[in-house]
Structure 1
Amino acid sequence: MIDKLINPVSKIVNKFVKDKDLQAKLDHELKTLFHEANLAQIELLKEDAKSTNWFQNSWRPFVGWTCGVAMAYHFVIQPLLITILTATGIQVELPDFDFAQLSTILMAMLGMSGLRSFEKTKNVHAK
């Protein structure tokens, strides 16, 4: 996966640097920097996973549930309430929200969880 980031940068560097030895050295340094950054991120995630702080461990499920409740309200609860209230003759202005913002967040989270599920099925582990 890192190669997808490194290769385009290496190609750009190779266009400007004509010395093959220097190209190889810069390519190695670039890969080393990416590798060190990934190792630092892995260590951060390990420490983050050890945390006993409730908020730190549960923000992803909280955001997921919040998006789920908001979608349920937008597509199920609000239309049912409007139907029921209209049938009973009650006039109430129900709150509305910008679904475009919610869908952006929700699609990003679904994409990440889908990718994580794919990684689990392929037995991909962080190294």
Structure 2
Amino acid sequence: MSFWTKLFGGAAAEPIDALGSAVDRIFTNDEERMQAQAVLDKIAQQPAILQAEINKIEAQHRSLFVAGWRPAIGWVCAIGLAFPFILNPLIEWAGGSGPEIPMDQLMELVVALLGLGTLRTFEKLAGRTK
């Protein structure tokens, strides 16, 4: 069937598929069919648009338990990265041996962040974001 069938197990996709079948029977002209498909595409996008609105509302919430999970994950990741790349080498250096920085992990992280930065730049240049 369709993406919605796979995602929701068929229950959410049935009205959209039924509407699509009805539109196919009513409209026979290619232009009318394309216009009807555009309407169906807008209907299919509504769950994603609503989820984006929910995410915006959650991010602006006053409660730390609602809006704070994103910053909390960021801080946990920052602390997790600080230990192997900053704290542990300083402890090793203070102990008398030279620090051994795990460059394979560091390079993987740097390349991933550079990729995200490049993607963000491309989206801005394409006019998809502000």
Relative to the length of structure 1, the TM-score reads 0.46
Greater RCO (Cα-Cα under 8 Å, separation 6 or more): 1
Relative to the length of structure 2, the TM-score reads 0.45
